[in-house]
A and B are shown apart, each in its own frame.
Chain A
Amino acid sequence: QKEVEQDPGPLSVPEGAIVSLNCTYSNSAFQYFMWYRQYSRKGPELLMYTYSSGNKEDGRFTAQVDKSSKYISLFIRDSQPSDSATYLCAMSARGAGSYQLTFGKGTKLSVIP
C-alpha cells in the first residue's frame, strides 16, 4: 500500500460547482498536511497548510483533516476556470531527523465555463 493515495482523475466540473478533492494515507506519523496547486508547465505552489485535525478555510478553499480516518480533503466553492490545474496533497512527519515531503500523485481538475 502506498503511503499516500490520491485519485488522479481527471475531474471535469462546470463553473460554479463545489469540488471535493481527497487523499488517504497510511503513515500515522504524518502531522503536517498541505495542498499544492500546479498549473501546466509550472512548479507547484502552496494553497493550504494544516497541522491538526479539523477544518481550515481560506476564501473559496477549505482544507479538512481527519487523522482518525487518515483522510484529508480540499473543497473548492464556486469553482472558476482559473482553478483548472493539478492539485497535489503532501504530508510530512514530525521529527528532527528528516525533511521529507510525501506527495500524492495529483488530481487534474478542469472547470468548464
Chain B
Amino acid sequence: EAQVTQNPRYLITVTGKKLTVTCSQNMNHEYMSWYRQDPGLGLRQIYYSMNVEVTDKGDVPEGYKVSRKEKRNFPLILESPSPNQTSLYFCASSLRRDTEAFFGQGTRLTVV
C-alpha cells in the first residue's frame, strides 16, 4: 500500500530535549515536505526537499532541522524544543513538484 509513515504519532517532551520525528514514504517520490498545523494558522511549510541531499526552508523553519540522506526518508529534528513548537506535524511526499502531495497521519507534539 502506498503511504507516508510518520513516527511517533504522539509525543510529549520537555523543553530542550532533542527529538526526531521520522518520515518514510514507499512511493519513490522525489519531493518531501514537513508542515505544522496550528488552530487559526492552518498548515505552514517548515522545510522541503526536492531530492536526496537537497533541502530548503519553507515558511517557518526556525527551530527545526531536516536531512535527506535517502530518497524514502525525511526526518524532522528539533535540537532544542520549546513550548511554541507544540503543534500537529505532517510529512508529505509528491512524485513531482506539480503533482498531488500525499500526507502522513500526523504527529501530535507537546513540549512542556
Contacts and interface: CB of A to CB of B under 8 A. Distances in A.
A8 B40 CA distance: 8
Chain A interface secondary structure, helix, strand, loop or mixed?
Answer: loop
Contact of A43 (B50, B94, B103): B103
A52 to B, nearest CB: 12
Nearest to B101: A101
Nearest to B97: A99
Interface residues of B, number: 27
Chain B interface secondary structure, helix, strand, loop or mixed?
Answer: strand
Interface residues of A, number: 26
B105 A99 contact: no
Interface stretch (B11-19, B41-49, B64-72): B41-49
Contact of B48 (A46, A100, A102, A103): A100
Interface in A90-113: 90, 92, 94, 96, 98-106
B31 interface: yes
B104 A99 contact: no
Given A34-B100, A99-B56, A105-B41, 18 more contacts: A41-B106, A43-B106, A44-B101, A46-B101, A46-B102, A51-B98, A92-B97, A92-B98, A96-B97, A98-B48, A98-B56, A101-B101, A102-B59, A103-B42, A103-B43, A103-B44, A105-B40, A106-B43
B90 interface: yes
B106 A105 contact: no
A104 B41 CA distance: 9
Nearest to B44: A103
Interface in B71-112: 90, 92, 94, 97-98, 100-106
